[in-house]
Structure 1
Amino acid sequence: MSGAAFRDLYRSLRDQASAAEDPERGALGRLTPERVVAAAAQVRHGRTVSLAAPIETEAGQDNPEPASHTMTAPAHGELGTRGEQFARDRFAMNVHGDADSHLDALCHVVYDGELYGGVPASTVTPDGAGALTLDLARDGIVGRGVLLDIPRLKGVPWLEPGEHVTAADLVAAEDAQQVTVGPGDLLFVRVGHRLRRRTLGAWDAARARAGLHPEAMRLPAERRVAALGSDGNNDTAPSAVTDVPFPVHVLAVNALGLHLMDYLDFEALVPLCERLGRWHFLCVVAPLRLPAATGCPVNPIAVL
């Protein structure tokens, strides 16, 4: 895709969103109380499934800056004495890496000097973001989740790094799974990244990974979804667009106002969906209360 074609697509989706969405909350405004109630009413079995992978503290090819977990108490040899004691620890991570499940806030992606809705990029400072922060999702992201399994559609365990998911693939997966993505849905797209990683080992996902083609973003825009997630980065590597390394991030976050969830894990959910014969579920996402943050680790819960 040429740079000029991408800019045309960006302007088209941005204009489509600006005419319909809340300039301060983006696509989260589609999660109306009525849609949340309808999603909750579809729970049939009371089964809950995490859509996150365990946070990793060991370095790897796709995780050169792993999260750190340090015990701050008790000191060595302190346990076992009489009376009250506490175990304490400290946690730190690179939120936007290529291994851990995380949520991207609307302040995460700058394009042509602006954030979503034309907010100046200068609102992001060394002290934190001043607009469109993670705090927009402080009350949770709750709605009907829909999982589209692209490897299942193609009869393979996973897509290979560099392969693109097209809008036609998404529609074909809907047909195969007898589910339709609609307004206010949380759309999840499986490319099989997690299964490939567990089977073959980690690789440099920054250089090569499966993901959505930029043109595929027309579907979530037209269907007016409320959020988008994948078991990969959402973006393919190498990028399909000249000089834009993360075009799907630009289109989703910056143009459409969609909160993105990267590197989720659907491997426990898929067999349950197959067994129950349904690919939609109540989904509950509870981001951390970090008011000036550009994102956070996340653990979406599917309830069937």
Structure 2
Amino acid sequence: MSDRLLEAVTAGVRTVDLGRQLRVGMPQSPNHPQFWHTLPRRHGDMTRSDGGSAANDMITTGTHVGTHIDALAHVSHEGKMHGGVNAAEAGVGGKYVELGVHTIAPMIRRGILLDIPAVRGTERLEGGDEITVDDLESACAAQGVEVSAGDVVLIRSGWAQLFDEGQPYVGGPSGVPGVGEPGAQWLASREVHAAGADTIAFERLAPGGGHALLPAHRVLLVESGIYIIEALDLEELARTRTYEFTFVLVPLNIFGATGSPVRPLAVVSA
């Protein structure tokens, strides 16, 4: 029996890398340990008798640094995580056994890009702009796509254009654009599998407000069991107007962790 997926791959596919390169000093949320990379052994530190030498690396990082996925264990509300799991009890032993990132199955799913700046006729949304339900529905209509149950929906604000500038991407005084609670409820009502954005915290951050209030995280992670992907690079998808694709994501299989760095791919026929 022929394998249709293998046939499609053999015929040729194009991949778009949606992940950010991990670099020391890259912009990140101040709530998480920074990424650090060093070489404890360099070429020449030890040379074998045949003249060969090897270098090796060591990294330390928070699990919510760079492009990453939030496990359901990441957020609780009034002491409860998704499914009513007691957050304090679940964390005993330093591992979230029930809802840790190791419970996220590899994703090979229909992906949808909703390009909000394109709908609004601008290059990039302003800091603190809320992406409304009307914005989401207008993007669906303009792009000719319909969000279905099980999809992974990626929401572009254009804010990723500031990533290389460092702190401006984090927001701070300016705030960061993103969906609010109504937008999150719209996604939840469509039973998406995961939702992602090109920003530091997925949802709208008010100017000067930092991460003080994160209602979309509550709606998606706690109430709906929907994963969140942050700090995506969606510029190439927008440039090529690639609004529907196969989305591929595999978290690191870290037992009990609240999240994982990821390198997601959008795959389309060549």
TM-score (norm 2): 0.85
Which one of the candidate residues 255, 258, 262 is aligned to 2:226?
A: 258
1:270 corresponding residue in structure 2: 238
1:303 corresponding residue in structure 2: 267
Which one of the candidate residues 64, 76, 88 is aligned to 1:96?
A: 64
Once the two structures are superposed, what CA deviation does each residue of 1:8-47 show, in whole Å capped at 9, x if it has no partner? xxxxxxxxxxxxxxxxxxxxxxxxxxxxx89x97998610
Aligned length: 257
1:12 corresponding residue in structure 2: none
1:159 corresponding residue in structure 2: 125
TM-fit CA distance, 1:60: 5.4
Does structure 2 conserve the Cα–Cα contact (< 8 Å) formed by 1:153 and 1:173? yes
Which one of the candidate residues 84, 109, 113 is aligned to 1:118?
A: 84
CA distance, structure 2, for counterparts of residue 162 and residue 260 of structure 1: 19
Does structure 2 conserve the Cα–Cα contact (< 8 Å) formed by 1:59 and 1:65? no
CA distance, structure 1, for counterparts of residue 8 and residue 110 of structure 2: 10
TM-fit CA distance, 1:218: 2.4
1:249 corresponding residue in structure 2: 217
Find the residue that maps to 1:57 and give its secondary structure: coil
CA distance, structure 1, for counterparts of residue 134 and residue 94 of structure 2: 43
Once the two structures are superposed, what CA deviation does each residue of 1:150-199 show, in whole Å capped at 9, x if it has no partner? 0111111111110000111000001111111111110100011111334x
Q: Which blocks of at least 5 consecutive residues in structure 2 are unaligned?
A: none
The RMSD of aligned alpha carbons is 2.8
Find the residue that maps to 1:215 and give its secondary structure: helix
**Are 1:143 and 2:109 counterparts?**
yes
Does structure 2 conserve the Cα–Cα contact (< 8 Å) formed by 1:167 and 1:218? no
2:40 corresponding residue in structure 1: 72
1:289 corresponding residue in structure 2: 253
1:279 corresponding residue in structure 2: 243
Deviates more, 1:167-176 or 1:120-129: 120-129
CA distance, structure 2, for counterparts of residue 179 and residue 238 of structure 1: 30
TM-fit CA distance, 1:302: 0.5
User: Structure 1 89/132 Cα, relative in aligned 2: closer, same or farther at 3 Å?
Assistant: same
Does structure 2 conserve the Cα–Cα contact (< 8 Å) formed by 1:62 and 1:202? no
Find the residue that maps to 2:195 and give its secondary structure: strand
User: Structure 1 211/126 Cα, relative in aligned 2: closer, same or farther at 3 Å?
Assistant: farther
Does structure 2 conserve the Cα–Cα contact (< 8 Å) formed by 1:42 and 1:281? no
Q: Percent identity?
A: 29
Residue type of the alignment partner of 2:13 = G
TM-fit CA distance, 1:271: 1.9
Which one of the candidate residues 9, 18, 21 is aligned to 1:51?
A: 18
Which one of the candidate residues 149, 155, 159 is aligned to 1:183?
A: 149
Find the residue that maps to 2:154 and give its secondary structure: strand
TM-fit CA distance, 1:62: 5.8
CA distance, structure 2, for counterparts of residue 112 and residue 238 of structure 1: 22
Which one of the candidate residues 108, 126, 134 is aligned to 2:74?
A: 108
User: Structure 1 91/201 Cα, relative in aligned 2: closer, same or farther at 3 Å?
Assistant: closer
CA distance, structure 1, for counterparts of residue 129 and residue 167 of structure 2: 17
TM-score (norm 1): 0.76
Find the residue that maps to 1:49 and give its secondary structure: strand
TM-fit CA distance, 1:222: 2.0
Does structure 1 conserve the Cα–Cα contact (< 8 Å) formed by 2:114 and 2:154? yes
CA distance, structure 2, for counterparts of residue 71 and residue 42 of structure 1: 37
1:17 corresponding residue in structure 2: none
User: Structure 1 77/237 Cα, relative in aligned 2: closer, same or farther at 3 Å?
Assistant: same
CA distance, structure 2, for counterparts of residue 85 and residue 131 of structure 1: 44
User: Structure 1 43/146 Cα, relative in aligned 2: closer, same or farther at 3 Å?
Assistant: farther
**Are 1:202 and 2:170 counterparts?**
no
TM-fit CA distance, 1:65: 4.9
Does structure 2 conserve the Cα–Cα contact (< 8 Å) formed by 1:43 and 1:282? no
CA distance, structure 1, for counterparts of residue 77 and residue 132 of structure 2: 23
Does structure 2 conserve the Cα–Cα contact (< 8 Å) formed by 1:42 and 1:282? no
